[in-house]
Amino acid sequence: MASPNTRGAPLLVSIAWTDQQRYWPAMSEENVRWVRESYATRGGSEAGSGSGMIEQRALFAALAERMAPSTEFDFTAAYPDRPVMRGMEALRRFREEGPWEELSFEAERFLDVDDERVLVLVRVDARGKGSGVPVELLNAHELTFREGVLVRFKVYGDRDEALEAAGLGD
């Protein structure tokens, strides 16, 4: 008996791969759209109302909508003495104990790295706790998604390093 598929099993693999190719670009675009909207959320402090800046608490409240319970927060590039944290409770404690009275971000550029990662080049405005000293930095945030859920948020203190790590450097 002749098989209706003269090419055999590879045809099934080819169809599955084609479906995956159609799915992943759509998911990647959805991740970028959703991250862009999260950074556009306003609220929290004066810095987050109208200047293009989003206050740290407002940003993480927006991101919480799609966070896994054990989302990894890697701020070691900015705080080398701090461990990588997991979950919103660890992030909340870090914010309370951290060195900043105010911390806001302005997204300057969104980069679709691959199926799972979005890189955001940000300008950071902060004011030191106690000292009141203002600080402005140029950083990058890398957000990693799996099946539409945020599983990792990594901060890079150096944009060139972030671009290189994402495979987008020179």
Q: Lowest-confidence range among 48-62, 82-96, 143-157?
A: 48-62
3-state DSSP of 40-79: HCCCCCHHHCCCCCEEHHHHHHHHHHHEEEEEEEECCCCC
Q: Taking the mean position of all CA atoms in its chain, how far away is CA 33?
A: 12
Q: Which residue has the tokens 């989003």?
A: 54
**The predicted structure's pLDDT at residue 27:** 64
Domain boundaries, the chain: 10-165
The pTM assigned to this predicted structure is 0.78
The second-level CATH assignment, the architecture, of 10-165 is: Roll (3.10)
For range 113-139, the mean pLDDT: 94
Would you say residue 87 has pLDDT above 90? yes
pLDDT tens digits, residue range 141-157?
Answer: 999 999 989 999 999 99
Burial 59-97 (b: 16+ CB within 10 A, else e): bbbbbeebbeeebbbbbeeeeeeeeebeebebbeeeeee
pLDDT tens digits, residue range 3-36?
Answer: 344 444 333 333 333 444 434 445 678 899 999 9
Contact 64, 88 (CB under 8 A): yes
What is the biggest distance separating any 2 CA atoms in the chain, rounded to whole angstroms?
83
Look over the chain and give the mean of its residue pLDDT values, rounded to a whole number.
81
Would you say residue 97 has pLDDT above 60? yes
